[in-house]
C-alpha cells in the first residue's frame, strides 16, 4: 500500500515594567553563535516526568513525550479557521508504520525497517507490543486513556513477524484507530528499559521518568526539574522530514512579567502561557506573532466533588452555578481570549455537539434561594483548589469565584497546589471544589463525556460523579457512532449534555484559547490536540 492508499484507508508587557524586576539574561555573548541553531522556549512550569506512562505525569510532560517518542501513526494537517496549521481529526499518516490495513476485526501495521531508537537499536514489532502492553497495564491515566478507544488488553496486540503488528478489536469503536495516534501509545525501547527495570518496577517507570527511551525526532539530553529541559535533534529520525532546529532549550520562568520581557527583548523565541492580558496587549503591538486557537474539545470548569457534602446535594451545585461571576472572569481574567460556555438562551435547543454553552447565568438571588432549599440558608465553608503551574489564569479566576461565593454565604479558602503535584492530588478526589481544564484528545463528544462523566472512569471524572443513565447514554453514543446510526448517536449526545447540565457536577466557564507568542522569525507552528508545541515542524529564520 502506497502513501496515498494509506491515507485513504486511514481517513475513516507591561507586567515586567510594573514590577520593576529585570528579566534574567538567557544567552551570553559567548553562546551567540549557537543562538541561531537553538529555539528558546519560556513557560510558567515544566514537566514533572518525561514518561507519558508515569504516575501523575503533568501536561508539560506531554510535550517531551510527543517530541521524543514515535507512535505507529499520526495525523495529517489542515488549515484551521485562523489560518494556522491544525491537525486533521479524520486523516492519518505513517510514523513508525509505513503501511496500515484496517479490517472489520483488526488493523495490521507494517513497520519501517530503517527506524532506530536513539541508542541505535532497531525498532521491532516486539518493542511495539511491549509498549502497547505497557500502556494498558501500568494503571492510572495511560490505561484508562487506551480504554476510551477500546484498547484494553495485552492480548489485543499481536506480533505477526519482526516488522508486523496486529491490533485486534474487542468491539466496534470508531475511536480505536484515532486512539493509536495520541500521545500514550508511544513506542519505547523495550530492551533498554527492561535493563533498567526491577522486581518492584517491571515497566521501568523510574528509569523513564528521568530518561527518554524513544525513536522520536528529539532526545532529552538534560532535565533539571523546575528549571530547564534541553533536547537535541535525532539526526537519524525516520518518522518524517528532519526537523529544522537542532536544539531546543525550554526554561521555566515563573514570573509572567519576566517571560514577557524576555520575548520583547528578543532573548526568548516562544512562550505560550502568558496571562491573557499580556497576549491581548501583545496582539495590538505587532512586535511579535501572536496565534490564538480555541482548545479542541476543551473547557475550563469549576468542579464539585459530589461525594463530599454539601456538594452531594444537586441544589447546592445549582446554587454555585448561579453564583459564579462568569462575565467578570471573561473580562478580567480572559480579556476576551476564550469562548463563553455560559448564558445560552433559556429556550435554546441542545445541539449534538461539544462544547456548547449551558443556560446558567450569574443570579445571586436564585443562588441564595437554592441554598435555602438545600437547607443551608447561611451558606457553609469550603476550599477551592487550583493548579499553581497555571497560576496566571487560575489564581485570579479563583479570587473572583471566592468573592462571588461569599455574597451567598459560601466562605471558600483558596488552596494553591504545586503544579508537579496537581494531577496526583486531583486523582485522589479529595478536593471538594476546584478549577481545572480538560481537553479531549479525540475531538468527539462521547470521548469527552466518557472521560469526564462516566461512572466507571476513575481518572478524569474528578467529581466522583455516578449516574447510570449518563453511563447508558455515553455507551449508546459510542455504539451508534461505530455502527453509523447517526440519528441515535445525536439523540444520545443531546441526552448526556442535558443530563450533565441538570446534575451539574462540573460547571463549564469557557473554552480557552491556546495563545502562543513567537518572534517574527519563528515559523511552522501547528495546533495539536494536546495543545503543546510540536518542535518537529518549527523553523527559525
The more confident residue out of 459 and 32 is 459
340 SS3 class: strand
Is residue 529 exposed (0-12), middle (13-18) or buried (19+ Cβ within 10 Å)?
buried
Identify whether the C-beta of residue 236 lies closer than 8 Å to the C-beta of residue 122: no
Residue 470 banded pLDDT, cuts 50, 70, 90: very high
CA dist., res. 482 & res. 492, Å (int) = 13
Comparing CA positions, the residue from 106, 145, 5, 123 lying closest to residue 71 is 123
Query: In terms of pLDDT, which residue wins out, 476 or 14?
Result: 476
pTM of the model: 0.88
State pLDDT tens for residues 506-527: 999 999 999 999 999 999 999 9
Q: CA 235 to CA 500: how far, in whole Å?
A: 49
Closest to 64 measured CA to CA, from 224, 218, 263, 189: 218
> For residue 469, with 0-12 CB atoms within 10 Å meaning exposed, 13-18 middle and 19 or more buried, which class applies?
exposed
What backbone phi and psi angles, to 5 degrees, belong to 91? -125, 135
The residue among 92 and 275 whose pLDDT is bigger is 92
Mean pLDDT of the chain: 92
> Span 3-253+519-540: which CATH code?
3.40.190.10
Q: Tell which residue, 478, 503, 501, has the closest CA to residue 489.
A: 478
DSSP string computed for 224-267: ETTTEEEEEE-TT--SSSPPS-SEEEEEE---HHHHHHHHHHTS
Non-local CB neighbours of 523 within 8 Å, separated by 6+ positions: 538, 539, 540, 541
Helix, strand, coil: what percent of the chain each, to 5? 35, 25, 40
Using CA atoms, how far residue 410 sits from 229, 307, 308, 322, in Å, is: 42, 18, 15, 13
Task: Give Cβ neighbours of residue 138 (< 8 Å, ≥ 6 apart).
Answer: 53, 203, 205
* C-alpha distances in Å from residue 157, one per residue of 107, 136, 154, 160, 268: 10, 11, 6, 10, 44
The pLDDT confidence band at residue 21, using thresholds 50, 70 and 90, is very low
pLDDT at 12: 40
Segment 139-162 shows an average pLDDT of 91
Name the residue ranges covered by the structural domains of the chain: 3-253+519-540, 298-513
DSSP state of 389: G
pLDDT above 90 coverage of the chain, percent: 86
- Residue-level length of the chain: 541
Q: Give the per-residue pLDDT at 23.
A: 53
Which phi and psi angles does 11 have, rounded to 5°? -80, 25
Q: Residue 98: pLDDT above 50?
A: yes
Flag whether pLDDT at 307 surpasses 70: yes
Q: How confident is the model at residue 459 (pLDDT cuts 50, 70, 90)?
A: confident
* Level-2 CATH architecture, domain 298-513: Roll (3.10)
Q: Each residue of 364-418: pLDDT tens digit?
A: 999 999 999 999 999 999 999 999 999 989 999 999 999 999 999 999 999 999 9
pLDDT at 146: 83
In terms of DSSP H, where are the helices of 69-106? none
Query: Using one digit for the tens of pLDDT, what is the confidence trace for 56-70?
Result: 899 999 999 999 999
pLDDT given for residue 3 in this prediction: 45
Strands 433-439 and 380-387: parallel
Element (H, E) at 210: helix 205-210
Is residue 32 scored above 70 in pLDDT? no
Amino acid at each position: 500500500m502506497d502513501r496515498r492508499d494509506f491515507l485513504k484507508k486511514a481517513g475513516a508587557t507591561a507586567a515586567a515594567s510594573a514590577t520593576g524586576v529585570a528579566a534574567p539574561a538567557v544567552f551570553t555573548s559567548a553562546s551567540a553563535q549557537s543562538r541561531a541553531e537553538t529555539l528558546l522556549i519560556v513557560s510558567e512550569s515544566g514537566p514533572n516526568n518525561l514518561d507519558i506512562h508515569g504516575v501523575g505525569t503533568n501536561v508539560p510532560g506531554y510535550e517531551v513525550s510527543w517530541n521524543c517518542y514515535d507512535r505507529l501513526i499520526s495525523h495529517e494537517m489542515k488549515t484551521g479557521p485562523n489560518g494556522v496549521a491544525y491537525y486533521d481529526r479524520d486523516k492519518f499518516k505513517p510514523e513508525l508504520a509505513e503501511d496500515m490495513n484496517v479490517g472489520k476485526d483488526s488493523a495490521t501495521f507494517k513497520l519501517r525497517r530503517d527506524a532506530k531508537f536513539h541508542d541505535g537499536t532497531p525498532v521491532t514489532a516486539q518493542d511495539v507490543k511491549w509498549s502497547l502492553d505497557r500502556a494498558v497495564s501500568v494503571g492510572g491515566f495511560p490505561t484508562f486513556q487506551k480504554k476510551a478507544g477500546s484498547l484494553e488488553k495485552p492480548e489485543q496486540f499481536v506480533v505477526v513477524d519482526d516488522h508486523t503488528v496486529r491490533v485486534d478489536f474487542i468491539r466496534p469503536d470508531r475511536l480505536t484507530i484515532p486512539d493509536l495516534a495520541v500521545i500514550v501509545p508511544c513506542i519505547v525501547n523495550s530492551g533498554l528499559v527492561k535493563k533498567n527495570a526491577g522486581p518492584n518496577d517491571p515497566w521501568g517507570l523510574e528509569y523513564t521518568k528521568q530518561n527518554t527511551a524513544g525513536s522520536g525526532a528529539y532526545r532529552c539530553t538534560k532535565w533539571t526539574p523546575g528549571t530547564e529541559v534541553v533536547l537535541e535533534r535525532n539526526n537519524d529520525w525516520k518518522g518524517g522530514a528532519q526537523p529544522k532546529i537542532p536544539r531546543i532549550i525550554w526554561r521555566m520562568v515563573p514570573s509572567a512579567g519576566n517571560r514577557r520581557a524576555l520575548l520583547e527583548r528578543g532573548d526568548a523565541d516562544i512562550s505560550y502561557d502568558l496571562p491573557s492580558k499580556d497576549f491581548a496587549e501583545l496582539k495590538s503591538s505587532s512586535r511579535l506573532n501572536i496565534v490564538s486557537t480555541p482548545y479542541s474539545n476543551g473547557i475550563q470548569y469549576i468542579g464539585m466533588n459530589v461525594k463530599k457534602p454539601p456538594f452531594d446535594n444537586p441544589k447546592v451545585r445549582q446554587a454555585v452555578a448561579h453564583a459564579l461571576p462568569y462575565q467578570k472572569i471573561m473580562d478580567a481574567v480572559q480579556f476576551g481570549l476564550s469562548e463563553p460556555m455560559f448564558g445560552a438562551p433559556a429556550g435554546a435547543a441542545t445541539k449534538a455537539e461539544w462544547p456548547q454553552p449551558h443556560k446558567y447565568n450569574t443570579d445571586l438571588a436564585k443562588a441564595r434561594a437554592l441554598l435555602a432549599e438545600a437547607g443551608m440558608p447561611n451558606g457553609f465553608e469550603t476550599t477551592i483548589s487550583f493548579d499553581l503551574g497555571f497560576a496566571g489564569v487560575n489564581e485570579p479566576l479563583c479570587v473572583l469565584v471566592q468573592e462571588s461565593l461569599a455574597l451567598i454565604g459560601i466562605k471558600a479558602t483558596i488552596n494553591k497546589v504545586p503544579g508537579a503535584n496537581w494531577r496526583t492530588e486531583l486523582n485522589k478526589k479529595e478536593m471538594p471544589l476546584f478549577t481545572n481544564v480538560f481537553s479531549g484528545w479525540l475531538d468527539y463528544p462521547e470521548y469527552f463525556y466518557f472521560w469526564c462523566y462516566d461512572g466507571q472512569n476513575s481518572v478524569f471524572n474528578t467529581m466522583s460523579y455516578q449516574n447510570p443513565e449518563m453511563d447508558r447514554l455515553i455507551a449508546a453514543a459510542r455504539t451508534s457512532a461505530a455502527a453509523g446510526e447517526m440519528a441515535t448517536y445525536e439523540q444520545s449526545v443531546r441526552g448526556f449534555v442535558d443530563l450533565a447540565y441538570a446534575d451539574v457536577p462540573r460547571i463549564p466557564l469557557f473554552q480557552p484559547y491556546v495563545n502562543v507568542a513567537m518572534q517574527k522569525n519563528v515559523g511552522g507552528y501547528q495546533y495539536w490536540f494536546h495543545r503543546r508545541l510540536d518542535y518537529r515542524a518549527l523553523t527559525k529564520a
